[in-house]
Structure 1
Amino acid sequence: MAQELSVVLGAIAAVLLVSVVAVRVSVRLGFPSLVLYLAIGVLLGEAGIGVEFENASLTESLGLAALVLILTEGGLTTRWSEVRASFWPGVVLSTVAVVVSIAVTGAALHLILGFGWRLALLWGAVLASTDAAAVFSVLRNISVSRRLVGALELESGMNDAAAYLVVVLLAAGSTATWVDPLLAVYELVVGGLIGVTFGWLGAWALRRAALPATGLYPLATVSVAVLAFSAGSFVHASGLLAAYIASLVLGNSKLPHRTDTLSFAEGLGWLSQIGLFVLLGLFMSPDRVLDAVVPGLVAGLVVTFLARPISVALSLTPFRVPWREQAFLSWAGLRGAVPIVLAMIPITEGVEGAHQLVDAVFVLVIVLTVVQGSTLPLIAKVLGLSKPGETREVEVDAAPLDELGAVLLTFTVPDDSRMHGVYLRELRLPTGATVSLLVRGGVGHTPAPTTRLQEKDQLLVVATEQARGETERRIRAVDRAGRFARWRGETGKD
């Protein structure tokens, strides 16, 4: 038994190490890493080493758990200041656009491939939502306006809930009634409220907790988001939406050891993506996939060039979004982990033709990820939406000193920051805050008022709890506008 366990653990560790190296390779080649994860799964499966894995129910359960962690990472790393202006467009994209995409895709596949209406709409529902993991990883490396990035991040974080509801209803085979729309509204609204509640209470508790180790804060934060998912599911609301909203609230609160929490969540997000795509590769049978190539490509063309543009246009035209931005948003509808999870539901429900849907998703995810993911920077440039050289804003991390009623704030002066060249006294931090340490080139210094800040300087600030908020705002203000931030009307608020 112990020997078998050691073999399994060794195999898992080896797969993770290879997948981590694959990330580096994909970045160098400009190639989406999830395709490499799929390849690893195929090599491990019956077409390669010979590992047989056909448990759709287990794949669905593990996939849903991975999706919760991916959404948690996405919510924690989304800056509300960057997405606030895109909130309502994001909400409409995550609801109305999903319904429109399902209808258009279902109708097209019914006419082109001759699917029955139930199966055709199932295909549409599985392929309707953009993928959080793909969007978060790809878009944050593209220099486009914050409004575009914000709309896509909110859409990809929230639209999984709507698509999941439709897939479950269609897979169950129940006859649609007037109650179903009301049920969908209940699940989304209550799921959102649960997310806000858990996020606010979790942030309040974490700020007041005196945990004995730094590493416990990231664990507690992620646990709050997962608990929100469980609470939402328990009351038959949208657990996925609850987890994302809770994470969004937590990520934009003044959490202790925020940087450590984000790093931990990012690692969990990568682990979830790796597990999902390796599982899909294992689940695939080369013989079945060949039969699904044609319907998969047809569905991909319908979704990319028909359903997605129509749904984006109908959703965003009322907001007067320019056609260039609509075109970019249409092309940026990346698919990845979400269709994999959703495609497993019809199999576990015994829907006829469900295996072909899973195989088609395998084909479609590879093709669309390679084509769309690799061409997004070019599309942004062609449409005139690229904004090269956008300055990265300073990140301030905090650690509590409960017995003193104080906090330690740490930050690094970013490249191209207007804080570069500012004298320490010109930071004009509020009463109750002082810079106690400056690290430059790996060497620590006790700074003087005449010390001049430089890019990549690391600073440690000690502040009372009462002065913390004003201190963070002042640091952000000087980072954005320099020593004359107040004269320029810059307050440092999000």
Structure 2
Amino acid sequence: MTLQDLYTALLIGGTVLLASIMAARTAHRIGLPSLLLFLAVGVLLGEDVIGLKFDDAALAQSLGTAALAVILVEGGLTTQWQGVRRLLLPAGVLATAGVAVSVVVTAAGAHFLLGMDWHLALLLGAIVSSTDAAAVFSVLRSLPLPQKVSGLLEAESGFNDAPTIILVLVFSTAAADLPGPAFVLGNVVYQLVVGGALGLAIGWIGVFGLRRIALPASGLYPLATVAFGIIAFAAAGAVNASGIIAAYLGGLVLGNAKLPHRAATRSFAEGAGWLAQIGLFVMLGLLVNPSELSSAVLPAVVVGLVLLLVARPISVFGCLLPFRMPWREKTFVSWAGLRGAVPIVLATFPIVGGVEGARSLLNIVFVLVVIFTLVQGPSLPAFARRLGLIRPGALNEVQVETAPLDVLDADLLTLTVPAGSRLQGVAVFELRLPPPTVVTLIVRDSTTVMPQRETVLRAGDELLLVTTPDVREAAERRLRAVGRHGRLARWLGETGDPATTPAGTAPDHPART
């Protein structure tokens, strides 16, 4: 490659990156997972449109697996342990037994409805059985759902990639004879146990080291933190264990430890995760040829309907039967099982393994992901409201953003007083925020107001508050409580809990903690 070729490649790459970032903004505004527009960018660049040829399934598999590792490390780093710790058991059951049920039911549908032989049917069932972490994170974190529901979906999507990858690998290498259940179960148990143990161990080693080693520049801490997650992924893969579960658990340990420069680490991890998603989806869009997709539409719709309306509900309601969870929440969890990059990456495994008919599986999976993401993604807010999972007026409540100030061991909170909020007319001293929380600045009509005790809040006011990590949650609850019931919120029994049932909602509202 000449220097001029390098400049050309960088120009194209930078342009594609910026186009993908604009696509992410557009997708967010219309309520779609960004992956769809990233895939569209890849398809437009492909040989059927602009003419860029890319058909190396082995390279796509390798790069895709590496990108998934980065995405899952970022997912672990940004997952709140407090929100998922009580959900580990149901999430683990969904990620293992639920995956097995989905694989069998989906494979049966493909076999009996489409006449697909059992080997390809089981491969297809395994490929599409897992929910996608990137798609779930991008859509659900913008919805004001009960913590139990969003935490369960996030934990499941972080854990269930590992079992599905194991199943796809097993079926892809079994071109002649399908392995017995005992072999499959033993392989899954080994990979999950060893991969999980390595992820936790390397995460704890990273926490121990980063707390005690003074690095010469603050920008090195995010690099080191993400590096430990990648090491966990690679170490597990080196011993034929699950690198995916190791990467997620390693990131979970590191992200929930009190490490230096946590805000910078989180920002860096999110940027790396976005870069991995963009590269992954654009590459997968390049891998398919639109001219070959028309024949895959019917089987994709049939398999997708079996998965969405039969396999997923059976697995969710069956696996969550032992857990006390309202039927509304189970129904939403069933509908919110979004598919994304993981199935498309997994569809490259049988191609590399030389499985006959594997290319048609790739086309079916691609069409299935696109169609059902278009159906499920935009429908989630309305579906959640229909089930009563989004509280009336929740979108008008105070939305608090946090920016940790590591040096001062403090958090900066920001909020805007929404129209209709009971915060209007409340004086600063009547907020009665837990010490040492203070309102430091009010931005009103593009001007700054230095708050006094008697300063009365108005609709549209932007407040900046400084608090400490220990009382941040209490401060957020108090702000939320006053926003709901005004200065007398405490007397009215309002605690500001985001998962409690506000006055006026149905008594069987499932949002409980």
Give the TM-score taking structure 1 as reference length: 0.87
Residue 237 (1) aligns with residue 258 (2): no
Residue 6 of structure 2 corresponds to 5
Letter in 2 for 1:372: Q
Residue 253 (1) aligns with residue 257 (2): yes
Any runs of at least 4 consecutive aligned residues in structure 1 with deviations exceeding 6 A, and if so which? Answer: 416-420, 423-426, 442-454, 482-490
Looking at structure 2, the residues matched to 343 and 445 of structure 1 have their Cα atoms a distance apart, in angstroms, of: 57
C-alpha deviations, 1:207-245, integer Å up to 9, x for none? 233222222221111111111111111222111001001
C-alpha deviations, 1:188-221, integer Å up to 9, x for none? 1121121221222212322233222222221111
C-alpha deviations, 1:350-369, integer Å up to 9, x for none? 00111001111111111011
Residue 114 (1) aligns with residue 115 (2): yes
| Shift in alpha-carbon separation, 1:119–1:157, aligned structure 2, 3 A | same
Greater Cα offset, 163-172 or 475-484: 475-484
Greater Cα offset, 366-375 or 445-454: 445-454
Looking at structure 2, the residues matched to 139 and 426 of structure 1 have their Cα atoms a distance apart, in angstroms, of: 29
Letter in 1 for 2:428: G
CA contact (8 A) 2:428 2:455 kept: no
Looking at structure 2, the residues matched to 238 and 227 of structure 1 have their Cα atoms a distance apart, in angstroms, of: 13
Looking at structure 1, the residues matched to 311 and 31 of structure 2 have their Cα atoms a distance apart, in angstroms, of: 27
Q: In the alignment, which of 346, 353, 365 is matched to residue 349 of structure 1? A: 353
CA contact (8 A) 2:48 2:291 kept: no
Q: In the alignment, which of 453, 456, 459 is matched to residue 463 of structure 2? A: 456
C-alpha deviations, 1:124-149, integer Å up to 9, x for none? 00000000000000001112111000
Partner SS for 1:457: strand
| Shift in alpha-carbon separation, 1:21–1:394, aligned structure 2, 3 A | closer
Residue 331 of structure 1 corresponds to 335
The Cα of 1:426 is off from its aligned counterpart by 6.9
Residue 65 of structure 1 corresponds to 66
Partner SS for 1:351: coil
CA contact (8 A) 1:313 1:326 kept: yes
Residue 386 of structure 1 corresponds to 390
Greater Cα offset, 412-421 or 228-237: 412-421
Partner SS for 2:390: coil
| Shift in alpha-carbon separation, 1:240–1:32, aligned structure 2, 3 A | closer
Partner SS for 1:456: strand
The Cα of 1:440 is off from its aligned counterpart by 5.6
C-alpha deviations, 1:337-388, integer Å up to 9, x for none? 1001111100000001110011111111110111000101111111111132
Looking at structure 2, the residues matched to 440 and 211 of structure 1 have their Cα atoms a distance apart, in angstroms, of: 37
| Shift in alpha-carbon separation, 1:485–1:88, aligned structure 2, 3 A | farther
C-alpha deviations, 1:12-33, integer Å up to 9, x for none? 1000011111122223333443
Greater Cα offset, 122-131 or 261-270: 261-270
Partner SS for 1:78: coil
Residue 403 of structure 1 corresponds to none
Residue 374 of structure 1 corresponds to 378
CA contact (8 A) 1:75 1:251 kept: yes
CA contact (8 A) 1:132 1:153 kept: yes
Letter in 1 for 2:376: Q
Partner SS for 1:395: strand
CA contact (8 A) 1:256 1:397 kept: no
C-alpha deviations, 1:160-190, integer Å up to 9, x for none? 0000000000001064242431221121112
Residue 54 (1) aligns with residue 55 (2): yes
Residue 303 of structure 2 corresponds to 299
Partner SS for 2:410: strand
Give the TM-score taking structure 2 as reference length: 0.84
Looking at structure 1, the residues matched to 48 and 224 of structure 2 have their Cα atoms a distance apart, in angstroms, of: 41
| Shift in alpha-carbon separation, 1:184–1:484, aligned structure 2, 3 A | farther
Q: In the alignment, which of 402, 415, 418 is matched to residue 395 of structure 1? A: 402
Residue 171 of structure 1 corresponds to 172
Residue 78 of structure 2 corresponds to 77
Looking at structure 2, the residues matched to 162 and 189 of structure 1 have their Cα atoms a distance apart, in angstroms, of: 11
Q: Give % identity.
A: 48
Residue 272 (1) aligns with residue 279 (2): no
Q: What value does the CA root-mean-square deviation take over the aligned residues?
A: 3.2
Letter in 1 for 2:471: R
Letter in 2 for 1:477: A
Residue 479 of structure 1 corresponds to 476
CA contact (8 A) 1:129 1:163 kept: yes
- After superposition, residues 99-178 of structure 1 pair within 5 angstroms as 99-173=100-174, 175-177=178-180, 178=182
| Shift in alpha-carbon separation, 1:424–1:294, aligned structure 2, 3 A | closer
CA contact (8 A) 1:438 1:446 kept: yes
Count of aligned pairs between the two proteins: 471
The Cα of 1:424 is off from its aligned counterpart by 12
Residue 325 of structure 2 corresponds to 321
Letter in 1 for 2:246: A
Looking at structure 2, the residues matched to 335 and 392 of structure 1 have their Cα atoms a distance apart, in angstroms, of: 28
Looking at structure 1, the residues matched to 142 and 7 of structure 2 have their Cα atoms a distance apart, in angstroms, of: 39
Looking at structure 1, the residues matched to 15 and 427 of structure 2 have their Cα atoms a distance apart, in angstroms, of: 44
Looking at structure 1, the residues matched to 40 and 431 of structure 2 have their Cα atoms a distance apart, in angstroms, of: 53
The Cα of 1:35 is off from its aligned counterpart by 1.9
Residue 44 (1) aligns with residue 45 (2): yes
CA contact (8 A) 2:31 2:139 kept: no
Letter in 2 for 1:111: F
Partner SS for 1:411: strand
C-alpha deviations, 1:413-470, integer Å up to 9, x for none? 44469999359997545xxxx99x95665999999999999953254x8xxxxxxxxx
Residue 202 of structure 1 corresponds to 206
Looking at structure 2, the residues matched to 485 and 203 of structure 1 have their Cα atoms a distance apart, in angstroms, of: 41
| Shift in alpha-carbon separation, 1:57–1:414, aligned structure 2, 3 A | same
Looking at structure 2, the residues matched to 5 and 115 of structure 1 have their Cα atoms a distance apart, in angstroms, of: 46
CA contact (8 A) 1:425 1:450 kept: no
Looking at structure 2, the residues matched to 255 and 86 of structure 1 have their Cα atoms a distance apart, in angstroms, of: 25
| Shift in alpha-carbon separation, 1:397–1:486, aligned structure 2, 3 A | farther
Looking at structure 2, the residues matched to 450 and 214 of structure 1 have their Cα atoms a distance apart, in angstroms, of: 41
Partner SS for 1:147: helix
Looking at structure 2, the residues matched to 297 and 414 of structure 1 have their Cα atoms a distance apart, in angstroms, of: 44
Letter in 2 for 1:17: L
Which is helix-richer, 1 or 2?
Answer: 1
CA contact (8 A) 1:87 1:154 kept: yes
CA contact (8 A) 2:84 2:155 kept: yes
Looking at structure 2, the residues matched to 423 and 150 of structure 1 have their Cα atoms a distance apart, in angstroms, of: 33
Looking at structure 2, the residues matched to 53 and 121 of structure 1 have their Cα atoms a distance apart, in angstroms, of: 27
CA contact (8 A) 1:96 1:315 kept: yes
Partner SS for 1:412: strand
| Shift in alpha-carbon separation, 1:239–1:328, aligned structure 2, 3 A | same
Partner SS for 2:321: helix
Looking at structure 1, the residues matched to 291 and 350 of structure 2 have their Cα atoms a distance apart, in angstroms, of: 20
Q: In the alignment, which of 189, 213, 220 is matched to residue 216 of structure 1? A: 220
